[in-house]
Amino acid sequence: MTDDFPDAKRALTTLLSDALREITPDAGSAVILLERPKQTRHGDFSCNIALQLAKALRAKPRDVAQKLIENLPTSPLLDRAEIAGAGFINLFLTRVYKQGIVNLILAAGANFGNSNAGAKQKVQVEFVSANPTGPLHVGHGRGAAYGASLANVLAAAGYDVSREYYVNDAGRQMDILALSTWLRYLELHEVTIAFPPNAYQGDYVREMARHVRALHGAKFLHGAAEVLRAVPPLPSPDRVDADARAAREIHLDTLITRAKTLLGADYDTVHQHALSEQLEDCRDDLTEFGVTFDQWFSERSLFNAGLVERAVGTLEKNGHIYAQDGAKWFRSSAFGDEKDRVVQRENGQYTYFASDIAYHLNKMERCFDRVIDVWGADHHGYIPRVKGALQALGLDADKLTVALVQFAVLYRNGEKVSMSTRSGQFVTLRELRREVGNDAARFFYVLRKSDQHLDFDLDLAKSRTNENPVYYIQYAHARVCSVYAQCEFDVTGVAHTDPSPLETEAELELLRMLADYPEIVLSAARELSPHLIAFYLKELAGLFHSYYNGTRFLVDDLATRNARLVLAGAVRQVLANGLALLGVSAPEKM
């Protein structure tokens, strides 16, 4: 924290290390771990080092614990140490130390909880990266909230963070969107063509088609017979067998080829229009959600720069590519993947995997110390093949960490809302935000560990009750503001006041909780788990609500009044700091 107010956990670890060297100089490699006991009567920290060393020292754990306590150096932080159970050492901080946290928090302000632990290491966090083929839906929202909060936490922990969105603007899905837009455009010109069931169905496609017509009139018009020439027919809609599904995909791909042939250079105009419209909508939606990026990286740029060809060529040179059935295959099974993967098809086109390899090569060449990809949990099997490709390229695959995010399932009135991007049946992120608000959306998305299933209860998110965690936390912040608003004096004058009157059990518990915040931020950064911040804030808000309900702040005794005000102010500051990391506002009135 500061020299005047040292970090308690680190300071106590040093004290135990000094004591350990006194009783056994050869135990310098022993790991001293301090944990918060669940019950305050067991101290502020507990340590099991005596149980670890008992066998090596040929002594009973409690005897080892006693010797350690006897050799603990004196410290203004440590009130006392006690032996508990089989040989645990419980450490109690001095009341003066605990009380001092309030002035430290108020002095640090918005910076309280920040550290330089990351030593400015360059970390890239790539997240969302949804195909720009339609509006973002509530599933994408979880990845957005998680990635943005994770980036904030890492920055607070002292890392140099770069936020990136990978734009898949070079693949088949974009061709399907361009085709879908063109077919709807033809519809507007009364050209009747059965719309493929596996094309994009949403109203946003019709809207883009109207934009194309408004900009270009009948320039892209072709008759149905021209469009459908040599296109295999669609199977009957009631067929759901594998052959029928494959036939629908062939029908769709042939239509794409026809569109490219008939439109020629104009195909790029339709394609670019669809891409630009959806990308701009995505950017606006995320910005309104409080999610911004330092870079939007184009997949096309990898091809334009020749990086995909170079990446595959390097793999081939290193002996990790073989030819089979006219295609080129990467030996990903040699790196833990379940089977080998095609990187270049028999028609010469590169696969999605090939561009992903090139993209990760590009990331490594940008000299990040660490690369964090935020992927949907359904991409779990993709991890070994990407890491394997990095190894095969001669790169350090350990620099890549993949954080998995489970899909969020939306419930309204107790019923699950089904979603499908292609069919157009989904709840957009924008609709969700407008219904529950940005704050509830951001908080609910990170309320669970990212790789755990999330049921998003829409009704709870909109409620103004203590059961709604974001309302509960924001209300605690607003309550402090309300107390300050009632003061008929300059509240800033109580800053750096004497905190010694803070002596009740509730006050000491709040002080202990406030002192934990920097460690919570570090843990969230270390474990890539911003939900730890959410859990912490909920617990801190609960402690403060209980304290508020049982305490008068504006009492006659000025020392007590001022001490309680700075405690409340410290709670307000930490709540605001934690909420900011999660992208949630800290309102002054509710």
pLDDT of residue 1 exceeding 80: no
Per DSSP (E only), the strands in 544-584 are none
Average pLDDT over residues 297-325: 97
Task: Tell me the C-alpha distance between 396 and 39, whole Å.
Answer: 44
Tell me if 160 sits within 8 A of 140, measured CB to CB. Answer: no
Contact 256, 179 (CB under 8 A): yes
- pLDDT for res 360: 98
Q: What integer pLDDT is reported at residue 419 of this predicted model?
A: 56
For residue range 267-295, list pLDDT tens digits in order: 999 999 999 999 999 999 999 999 999 99
pLDDT in tens, 216-257: 999 999 999 999 999 999 999 999 899 999 999 999 999 999
Q: Is the pLDDT of residue 134 over 80?
A: yes
Q: Is domain 8-93 annotated with CATH 3.30.1360.70?
A: yes
| Strand-pair partners of 328 | 323, 344
* Residue 27 confidence (pLDDT) above 90: no
The pairing of beta strand 160-167 with beta strand 122-126: parallel
Contact in structure between 430 and 135 (CB atoms under 8 Å): yes
State the average pLDDT over residues 323-352: 95
Q: Average pLDDT, stretch 62-78?
A: 94
| Mean pLDDT, rounded, of the chain | 93
- 40 contacts 504 by C-beta, under 8 angstroms: no
CA distances from residue 440 to 270, 381, 457 in whole angstroms, order as listed: 37, 32, 11
Fold type of domain 101-118+465-581: Isoleucyl-tRNA Synthetase; Domain 1 (1.10.730)
Q: Left (φ > 0), alpha (ψ -120 to 50) or beta: where does 89 sit? A: beta
Asked whether the predicted pLDDT for residue 423 surpasses 80, the reply is no
Distance between alpha carbon 27 and the CA centroid of its chain, in Å?
Answer: 40
Least confidently predicted of 374-388, 424-438, 483-497? 483-497
In the chain, which residues fall in CATH 3.30.1360.70? 8-93
More confident site: 293 or 413:
293
User: Is the Cβ–Cβ distance between 403 and 528 less than 8 Å?
Assistant: yes
pTM above 0.85, yes or no: yes
Least confident of 102-106, 205-209, 293-297, 494-498: 494-498
Q: What are phi and psi of 588, to 5 degrees?
A: -90, -20
Provide the pLDDT for residue 425: 56
pLDDT at 195: 96
Q: How far is CA 498 from CA 92, 97, 449, 567, in A?
A: 22, 12, 40, 11
The average pLDDT across 316-325 equals: 96
Which of 3-12, 111-120, 345-354 shows the lowest per-residue confidence on average (mean pLDDT)? Answer: 3-12
Q: In this predicted structure, what is the pLDDT of residue 4?
A: 55
422 — pLDDT class (breaks 50, 70, 90)? very low
pLDDT over threshold 90, residue 265: yes
Report the pLDDT value the prediction gives residue 432, as an integer from 0 to 100. 92
**CATH 1.10.730.10 residue ranges in the chain?**
101-118+465-581
As a whole number, mean pLDDT of residues 178-195 equals: 96
Partners of 376 in the β-ladder: 405
263 has a pLDDT exceeding 60: yes
Task: State both tokens at 480.
Answer: 């402090």
Among 484, 580, 590, 483, residue whose Cα is nearest residue 537? 580
Measured between alpha carbons, how far is 85 from 60 in angstroms, rounded to an integer? 12
Residue 424 confidence (pLDDT): 47
Among 29-43, 165-179, 413-427, 492-506, the range with the most confident prediction by mean pLDDT is: 165-179
The percentage of the chain sitting over the pLDDT mark of 90, rounded to a whole number, equals: 84
Place of tokens 């403060």: 544
Q: CB of 149 within 8 A of CB of 533?
A: yes
Residue 233 tokens, joined: 């027919």
Q: What is the pLDDT of residues 355-372, one digit of tens each?
A: 999 999 999 999 999 999
